[in-house]
Amino acid sequence: MPPPTPTLLPSLALFILFIFSSSTTSNAHNITRILAKHPEFSTFNHYLTTTHLASEINRRQTITVLALDNAAMSALLDKQLSLYTLKNVLSLHVLVDYFGSKKLHQITNGTALTSTMFQATGAAPGSSGYINITDLKGGKVGFGAEDNDGKLDAVYVKSVAEIPYNISVLQISQVLNSAEAEAPTAEPSQLNLTEIMSKQGCKAFGDMLKASGADATFNENIDGGLTVFCPTDPVIKGFMPKYENLTAAQKVSLLLYHGIPEYQSMQTLKSSNGIVNTLATDGANKYDFTVQNDGEVVTLKTKVMTAKITGTLKDEEPLIVFKIDKVLLPRELFKTVEAAEAPKASKSKHKAADAPESDAPAESDPADQSADNENGVAGLDGRRLVMVLLSFCIGVLLM
Ligand X SMILES: *[C@@H]1O[C@H](CO)[C@@H](O)[C@H](O)[C@H]1NC(C)=O
Interaction site with ligand X (CB under 6 A): 21, 24, 27-28, 30, 32-33, 36, 58, 108-109, 111-113, 132, 134, 150, 152, 163, 166, 192, 194-195, 219, 241-242, 245, 340
CB of 160 to ligand X, least distance (A): 16
**Neighbouring C-beta atoms of residue 286, cutoff 10 Å:** 15
Q: What single letter denotes the amino acid at residue 41? A: F
Q: Which is nearer to ligand X, 271 or 310 (CB)?
A: 271
Alpha helices in 215-292 (DSSP H): 215-221, 233-244, 248-256, 266-271
Please give the residue whose beta carbon sits closest to ligand X in the complex.
150
Q: Which is nearer to ligand X, 110 or 274 (CB)?
A: 110
Question: Angle 191-195-197 (CA atoms, 0-180°, nearest 5)?
Answer: 105
CB of 45 to ligand X, least distance (A): 9
CB of 196 to ligand X, least distance (A): 9
CB of 330 to ligand X, least distance (A): 15
Instruction: Answer yes or no: are the C-beta atoms of 306 and 300 closer than 8 Å.
Output: yes
Bond preceding residue 156 cis, omega within 30 of 0:
no
Distance of CA 140 to the CA centre of its chain: 36
CB of 200 to ligand X, least distance (A): 13
Helices 203-212 and 248-256 sit at what angle, rounded to 10 degrees?
Answer: 130
Instruction: Answer yes or no: are the C-beta atoms of 352 and 343 closer than 8 Å.
Output: no
CB of 237 to ligand X, least distance (A): 13
Q: Which is nearer to ligand X, 246 or 396 (CB)?
A: 246
Q: Which is nearer to ligand X, 22 or 74 (CB)?
A: 22
Give the dihedral of Cα atoms 154, 158, 161, 165; nearest 10 deg: 70
CB of 280 to ligand X, least distance (A): 20
Q: Which is nearer to ligand X, 11 or 111 (CB)?
A: 111
Q: Which is nearer to ligand X, 8 or 246 (CB)?
A: 246
Instruction: Answer yes or no: are the C-beta atoms of 68 and 172 closer than 8 Å.
Output: yes
Q: Which is nearer to ligand X, 74 or 245 (CB)?
A: 245
Q: Which helix (H) or strand (E) holds 167?
A: strand 167-172
CB of 86 to ligand X, least distance (A): 20
Q: Which is nearer to ligand X, 219 or 272 (CB)?
A: 219
CB of 287 to ligand X, least distance (A): 20
Helices 248-256 and 331-340 sit at what angle, rounded to 10 degrees?
Answer: 140
Q: Which is nearer to ligand X, 109 or 247 (CB)?
A: 109
Instruction: Answer yes or no: are the C-beta atoms of 279 and 13 closer than 8 Å.
Output: no
Output phi, psi for 31, to 5 deg.
Answer: -60, -35
Q: What single letter denotes the amino acid at residue 220? A: E
Q: How many Å from the N-terminal Cα to the C-terminal Cα in the chain?
A: 16
Residue among 191, 227, 225, 199 nearest 82 (CA): 191
